[in-house]
Amino acid sequence: MKIEILGTGCAKCALLGKHADEAARSLGLDYELTYVKEIPDILAHGVMSTPAMAVDGVVKVQGHVPTSRHIEKLLLG
């Protein structure tokens, strides 16, 4: 599973990355987490409000930082 955190690198993006990491680890998933920081790359995902999260290329979160519990649901669904 490929988890991408989209955002220009503010505190909230780092927090989203941390929550996603916690969620994926507590589910015991096989995953790879990367950060997408360049604005053109973020826009190419069709995302305009950051922080955002894409799972295997599909945008699942835009513009807020869900709790890791909520991200667990998103990763499973």
Partner 1 sequence: MSDGLNEIACCSGSQPVFREPGFWRRGGWLLPALPLWFVVYHFLEPFANWLAYTRLGLAPASRLGSAVAFFAYDAPKVVMLLALVVLGVTFVQTFISPDRTRDILAGRAGIWGNVLASVFGIFTPFCSCSAVPLFIGFVRVGVPLGVTFSFLVSAPMVNEVALFLLLGLFGWKIALIYAGTGLTVAFLAGWVIGKLRMEKHLEDWVMQIDFKPSTIQEARKSFSDRLDLAVDGVRDIVGKVWPYLLAGIAVGAFIHGYAPEALMAHIMGKAAWWSVPLAVLIGVPLYSNAAGVIPIVQALLGKGAALGTVLAFMMAVTALSLPETIILRKVLKPRLIAVFLAVVTAGILLVGYLFNAIM
Count of CA atoms in the C-beta half-sphere (13 A) of 35: 17
Q: Does 10 bind partner 1 (CB under 8 A)?
A: yes
Q: Does 8 bind partner 1 (CB under 8 A)?
A: yes
Residue 19 among the catalytic residues: no
Residue 13 among the catalytic residues: yes
Q: Does 5 bind partner 1 (CB under 8 A)?
A: no
| DSSP E strand boundaries for the chain | 2-6, 32-36, 52-55, 58-62
Considering only residues 36 to 65 of the shown chain, the ones binding partner 1 according to CB under 8 A are 39-40, 42-51, 58-65
Q: Is the dihedral of CA 46, 65, 5, 21 positive or negative?
A: negative
Q: Does 30 bind partner 1 (CB under 8 A)?
A: no
What residues are annotated to the active site? 10, 13
